[in-house]
Amino acid sequence: MEVVQGRLEKFIENVDRGNADGTIPKWIAFETRQASLESFSRYIVEQIYRQTFGGNRAALAGKQLNLLKNACEAIYRAEQRREWRERESRVDQSQNADTNTDTEQQTVS
């Protein structure tokens, strides 16, 4: 698990420096990012490598690895879209609440 986590951390550092494609959300705290990396690394090793591929390294090579990478990218993008929708919804709700408060104050005056 440590090897996977180390490689992910190195990749994220490269993305941060602009040496690799991708983006790192700046609003995520370092501790949260580290906990997520650890959780993801554990999942990859235990669920994907050990259970799905039976610990067979060759099964993770080539096409299988590309399929896994593509699936991860699709999940990441879907999660990113969900987060943006939630943020937009919170902003809209906040603006509606502010508008309602302003209207109520004008009515009382």
The per-residue pLDDT for range 50-60, each reduced to its tens digit, is 998 888 888 77
| pLDDT (0 to 100) of residue 82 | 92
Are residues 51 and 3 part of one domain? yes
Are residues 48 and 2 part of one domain? yes
Are residues 53 and 77 part of one domain? no
CB 104 within 8 A of CB 98: no
Are residues 51 and 1 part of one domain? yes
Across the range 88-103, mean pLDDT stands at: 77
Q: Helices 2-17 and 30-43, interaxial angle, to 10°?
A: 130
Name the pLDDT band for 10 (thresholds 50, 70, 90).
Answer: very high
Question: Taking the mean position of all CA atoms in its chain, how far away is CA 98?
Answer: 31
Domain range for 54 is 1-59
Q: When comparing pLDDT for 72 and 81, which is higher?
A: 81
Say whether pTM exceeds 0.95.
no
| pLDDT (0 to 100) of residue 60 | 75
Are residues 55 and 66 part of one domain? no
Are residues 99 and 55 part of one domain? no
Are residues 77 and 46 part of one domain? no
CB 10 within 8 A of CB 22: no
Are residues 101 and 81 part of one domain? yes
| Number of domains making up the chain | 2
Q: Give the number of other Cβ atoms within 10 Å of residue 44's Cβ.
A: 19
Are residues 55 and 13 part of one domain? yes
Which of 25-29, 37-41, 80-84 shows the lowest per-residue confidence on average (mean pLDDT)? 25-29
